[in-house]
């Protein structure tokens, strides 16, 4: 059983803005709920190969972990490694 969810955003490292579904940029941008939707967005905007996005863009992966997992682990301060470990369990 998977105990986390993943979603995706596209960030321009230079401007700090996030990509919207219409291809424009904004402070919050769009969050894609799965990798297929993100790839479809790239395809619709002429970027057929997700590995060849402009170098100043980055794909942000948002990992949502239920609080019960965090509380069960007895964690009060989370670091990146612990978050990834919790998210990738099961």
Q: What is residue 47's three-state secondary structure? A: coil
Q: What does the alpha-carbon distance between residue 52 and residue 30 come to, in Å, rounded to a whole number?
A: 20
Look up the pTM and report it: 0.70
pLDDT in tens, 12-67: 999 999 999 999 999 999 999 988 899 899 999 888 887 788 999 998 888 876 66
Alpha helices in 33-89 (DSSP H): 35-44, 67-72, 80-88
Where do the structural domains in the chain lie, given as residue ranges? Answer: 5-88
């Amino acid at each position: 059983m998977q105990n986390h969810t993943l979603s995706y955003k596209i960030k321009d490292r230079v401007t700090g803005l996030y990509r919207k579904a219409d291809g424009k940029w904004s402070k919050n941008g769009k969050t894609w709920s799965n990798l297929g939707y993100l790839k479809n967005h790239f395809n619709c905007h002429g970027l057929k190969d997700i590995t060849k996005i402009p170098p100043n863009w980055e794909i942000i992966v948002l990992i949502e972990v239920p609080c019960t997992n965090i509380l069960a682990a007895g964690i009060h301060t989370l670091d990146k490694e612990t978050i990834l470990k919790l998210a990738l369990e099961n």
